[in-house]
Structure 1
Amino acid sequence: MPELLPWAWAALGIAAITIGISKTALPGGSILAIALFAAVLPARTSTAAMLLLLMVGDVFALIAYRRHAHWLTLLRLAPAVVAGLLAGFAFLALAGDGIVRRAIGVILLLMIGVTLWRRRRQDRADAAPPGSGGLLLAGAYGTLGGFTTMVANAGGPVMSMYFLATRTPVQVFLGTSAWFFAIINLVKVPFLAGLGLFPPPVLLMDAVLAPLVVGGALAGIRLAKRLDQRLFDRIVIALTVAGAAYLLL
């Protein structure tokens, strides 16, 4: 077990609860957990430790929203996401932590800008059906989502921007996100294991934190039922802006 001070364990506990809530109620909210893990653990270790806890949250997200996924969207995203994962793996193996964090921060801010610009040009009443974004849009967001999720588990905000850009309703948003990240996180395990990022101390630490993820996920399911579409969109955008600012600083 890593030797951490009490404040560090408290920060990791808050991060674990946040992971659970983000999986079942606020996609993109895990950016807070990324910040807390990175503040306590070395960057590469924090990426691996978070991945296992995210997978615990994936189970509850699938239980709650598995029937609401838009599979055409997932298929449209798949080729670009695979390319992004491979690019992210190469970048993670070669680049320093500071460069990685700043690159992701810039990407997130660009995605926010593009999404808000698109939303100003469209009236919600004339929005396209869920998941109807074109191949170019899916390719851009999919590549960036695969890249950022590989290097820092930060794909949530990028994909949230994609789902917001395509005017996806809350339940479909959550269902499609649940399947997307459940699949992607499984794919990432052998890559990070190949870099030796799952030593026994990390596994023991995650075993201690996993029950907090479960508690957060159950609380998130109840929270999601009370969120309307407009409030949901605003929270996701605000969390993404905060995460991007943190990564740049």
Structure 2
Amino acid sequence: MTELPSDPISWAALALAAALVGFSKTGINGTASLSILLFATMLPAKESTGALLPVLILGDLFAIRFYSRHVEWRILGRLAPWVVVGVAGGAAALWFADDATMRVLIGSILLAMLALQVWSRLRPKFGKGPAEPKPPTGLARKSAAAGAGIAAGAATMTANAAGPVMVLYLMLSGFPKLRFLGTMAWFFFAVNLFKVPISVGLGLITWHTLLMALLLVPAVAVGALAGRAVVHRVDQRQFEIATLVLSGAGAALLIV
């Protein structure tokens, strides 16, 4: 069972993580990886996935409030069955894995997702693809939806780390910024709600984790408002590069 932290340093770290959740939901998505790392550091790695889930749902609600009109429902319908498959596989991994294994698994997933993000940015520079990838069509579109859905479902169930998968998939689909944010908001709200009964059944969500999420609401709100305020003003490319570096270092520490 996940107990509430008793020291101020742990609470400060969790509050920062909650603020980064809010910021990632309404602003720059890459900051969510830091939240995962902070929760996995302050709490047992396996239980941290359940403790973070209610906080993520709070962030989803803020994002829906700000961007709900810009959702692309066709994309969500295309992904839905494959996400279920991925979540089922992730739940099986959580059932059989111990805490040490989960730390390595979470770190490995984050490193893999971060590597995909870095490659997507470097690919045009090496002549491996166009600077503006064309959205997939036909069989390629169906295959992309299947791969993204399964990967997102497995990553979100085991490590709450589906963000990079969805970022790459929606960017490949050529979404403008507001439609991107709105679709991400509804996707993660639906997926995170779907994960709740599974996490309860696995013993990852308890009254303690719900109370923790309630206490962190102000931090989520501050982060969400900040994300909305800066999303159109910050140099997103430089900010994401810094986030990738920090997330990669943290993920490596989890594995070690």
Interval of TM-score (by shorter of Structure 1 and Structure 2): 0.7 to 0.9
The CA RMSD measured in Å over matched residues stands at 2.4
Q: Deviations over 1:194-236 (max 9, x none)?
A: 0112222222222111121112112211112324xxx435544
The CA distance in 2 between the partners of 1:101 and 1:146, in whole Å, is: 14
Per the TM alignment, residue 242 of structure 1 is displaced from its structure 2 partner at its CA by 3.7
1:187 maps to which of 194, 200, 203:
194
Pairwise CA distance, 1:167: 3.0
- Cα distance in 2 for partners of 1:242, 1:157 equals 15
Report the CA distance between 1:193 and its aligned residue. 0.2
Shift of 1:160: 1.3
Residue 196 of structure 1 pairs with residue 203 of structure 2: yes
Change (3 A) 1:109 1:60: closer
Question: For residues 23 and 78 of structure 1, do their structure 2 counterparts lie closer, same or farther at Cα, with a shift above 3 Å needed?
Answer: same
Q: CA deviation at 1:172?
A: 1.3
Change (3 A) 1:107 1:10: same
Counterpart AA for 2:120: T
Cross-structure match for 1:121: 129
CA distance in 2, matches of 1:111, 1:58: 24
2:213 partner amino acid: D
Q: In structure 2, do the counterparts of structure 1 residues 7 and 106 end up closer, same or farther at CA, with 3 Å as the change threshold?
A: closer
**2:239 pairs with 1:239:** no
Change (3 A) 1:67 1:236: farther
For these two proteins, the number of residue pairs brought into alignment is 244
In structure 1, the residue matched to 2:62 is 60
1:248 aligns with 2:252: yes
Equivalent-residue separation in structure 1 for 2:249 and 2:131 (angstroms): 29
3-state secondary structure, aligned to 2:30 = coil
Unaligned runs of 5+ in 2: none
| Structure 2 CA distance for partners of 1:233 and 1:69, relative to 1, 3 Å | farther
SS at match of 1:140: helix
Aligned to 2:42: 40
Question: 2:71 and 2:137 mapped to 1: Cα distance?
Answer: 10
TM-score, length-normalised on structure 1?
0.87
The runs of 5 or more residues in structure 1 that have no matched partner are none
SS of residue in 2 equivalent to 1:29:
helix
The reply on whether 1:178 has 2:182 as its aligned counterpart is: no
